[in-house]
Amino acid sequence: MYRQIVVLTGAGISAESGLRTFRDQDGLWEEHKIEDVATPEGYARDPEMVERFYNERWQQLHNGKIEPNAAHKALARLEQEFDGQLLVVTQNIDDLHERAGSRRLLHMHGELTKGRCPRSHQTFLLTDHFGVNHTCTCCIPAQRLRPHVVWFGEMPIGLDRIQHALDTCDLFIAIGTSGTVYPAAGFVDTANHHGAQTVEVNLVPADRHSQFQYHLQGKASEIVPQLVEQILAGEVIGEKPLSGAANV
Ligand SMILES: [Zn+2]
């Protein structure tokens, strides 16, 4: 039925795995002010504090308790079994999609598991914590790596590739994303403009001004496996009800 699918995932899908993420309501992320830990200015002011913050997030991700949930696993299954094109775009900086098995994945806000050379922009996998010992191998003298995280005031990663995928997709699904942070909040408009079906999966009630054609309210870990089942069976989303989902 569908030939090209774009999936956007946000904080909601990670939250169901027990990860706390930035909440824009209070401007805090794990009790830290956003301007201190998620802006280039905050990093320039106090790089050690910012490194410590991301090290704590890195440790939380590797504490053995945080695991991909059924929604992450269902998207990995979709990648393996779907005959058409699929691109998963995530706003999350954790590696839960990768751990579930996703490979065709774009981290538009960067990755917690990587550091980046500030000069060449080359990225390096971090096998342990950040610190002054973490330097690039691309420059002489070696540069201190910065977190490979897109901060406020910086350009998201891969926008050209995302734009191209949205221009040609016939299904766009947004999962667990607030729909308030641009440019991601505008992806649905592009998909609608090109005639794609647009589907939203969210724990909180959909904004009544939402641009999505179809809204599903409930847990991603319950809804997404059913959506993937329908797509792989060649069914059109919305024709059959899903359990655990309020169609709002
Ligand atoms: Zn370098």
- pLDDT at residue number 147: 94
Percent of the chain with pLDDT over 90: 71
Q: Which domains does the chain have, with CATH numbers?
A: 4-19+68-109+156-247 (3.40.50.1220), 22-65+111-149 (3.30.1600.10)
Taking only the tens place, the pLDDT of each residue in 79-89 is: 999 999 999 99
Helix 220-232 vs helix 70-81: crossing angle, to nearest 10: 20
DSSP-derived pairing of the beta strands 171-175 and 146-149: unpaired
Mean pLDDT over all residues of the chain? Answer: 91
Taking only the tens place, the pLDDT of each residue in 206-232 is: 676 689 999 999 999 999 999 999 999
Q: Is 229 annotated as a binding residue?
A: no
Distance in Å, CA 126 to ligand 1 centroid: 15
- pLDDT at residue number 241: 83
* pLDDT above 60: residue 24: no
Output the CA torsion 219→221→7→86 (10° steps).
-160
Taking only the tens place, the pLDDT of each residue in 88-126 is: 999 999 999 999 999 999 999 999 999 999 999 999 988
- In DSSP notation, 183-227 reads TGGGHHHHHHHTT-EEEEEESSPPPTT---SEEEES-HHHHHHHH
Distance in Å, CA 48 to ligand 1 centroid: 19
Block residue for tokens 């991603």: 220
Q: How confident is the model at residue 181 (pLDDT cuts 50, 70, 90)?
A: confident
DSSP-derived pairing of the beta strands 28-29 and 32-33: antiparallel
Distance in Å, CA 56 to ligand 1 centroid: 24
Tell me which of 32, 72, 107, 109 is the catalytic residue: 109
Q: Is 179 annotated as a binding residue?
A: no
Residue 248 structure tokens: 């709002």
Q: Is 15 annotated as a binding residue?
A: yes
User: Alpha helix locations (H) across the chain?
Assistant: 11-15, 34-37, 40-45, 47-61, 70-81, 96-100, 159-168, 187-193, 220-232
- pLDDT at residue number 248: 58
Average pLDDT estimate for 34-39: 92
Please confirm, yes or no, whether 164 is among the known catalytic residues.
no
- pLDDT at residue number 247: 65
Distance in Å, CA 143 to ligand 1 centroid: 5
- pLDDT at residue number 239: 86
Position 30, amino acid: E
| φ/ψ bin of 209: left (φ > 0), alpha (ψ from -120 to 50), beta (otherwise) | alpha
Produce one character per residue of 149-173: b if its CB has 16 or more CB atoms within 10 Å, e if not.
bbbeeeebbeeeebeebbeebbbbb
- pLDDT at residue number 23: 61
Q: Find out whether 122 and 138 touch, Cβ atoms under 8 Å.
A: yes
Q: Is 195 annotated as a binding residue?
A: no
* pLDDT above 80: residue 9: yes
Q: Is 21 annotated as a binding residue?
A: yes
Q: Find out whether 110 and 149 touch, Cβ atoms under 8 Å.
A: yes
- pLDDT at residue number 131: 64
* pLDDT above 70: residue 179: yes
Half-sphere CA count of 220, side-chain side, radius 13 A: 29
Task: Return the higher-pLDDT residue of 63 and 208.
Answer: 63
Instruction: State CA 238 to chain mean position distance.
Output: 24
Residue 169 structure tokens: 């997709």
Distance in Å, CA 148 to ligand 1 centroid: 13
Average pLDDT estimate for 236-244: 85
Taking only the tens place, the pLDDT of each residue in 124-148 is: 988 776 665 688 999 999 999 999 9
